[in-house]
Amino acid sequence: MTIKPLADRVVIKMIEAEETTKSGIILTGSAKEKPQVAEVIAVGPGGLVDGKEVVMNVKVGDKVITSKYSGTEVKVDSEECIIVRQSDILAIVE
């Protein structure tokens, strides 16, 4: 099954948080922060949204930083993804 987002929506997949710190300390599940960096899986076409023209600035494969608790979580083929508005994406990681 494939997800095709509409309007200004973007489908992202969170990138797993690091298991160890830079100094080599292994983190437990409760010590890890919720990851905020994600990879873009699919991008909507943009267009007219709420009376304003929206141009999509992200593309498939971009790594992005999102708002901490934004979006709607969905499960597709046992893979967890999140659908967010482009405005919930804070930055593109280069």
Question: Is pLDDT at 31 greater than 90 in this prediction?
Answer: no
Check residue 68 and give its pLDDT.
83
Check residue 86 and give its pLDDT.
94
The model's pTM is 0.79
Q: How confident is the model at residue 4 (pLDDT cuts 50, 70, 90)?
A: very high
Helix (H, G, I), strand (E, B) or coil at 55: coil
| List of domains in the chain | 9-93 (2.30.33.40)
| SS3 track for 25-91 | CECCCCCCCCCCEEEEEEECCCEEECCEEECCCCCCCCEEEECCCCCEEEEECCEEEEEEEHHHEEE
In 3D space, the residue among 1, 71, 17, 78 whose CA is nearest the CA of residue 40 turns out to be: 71
pLDDT in tens, 67-83: 888 899 999 888 899 99
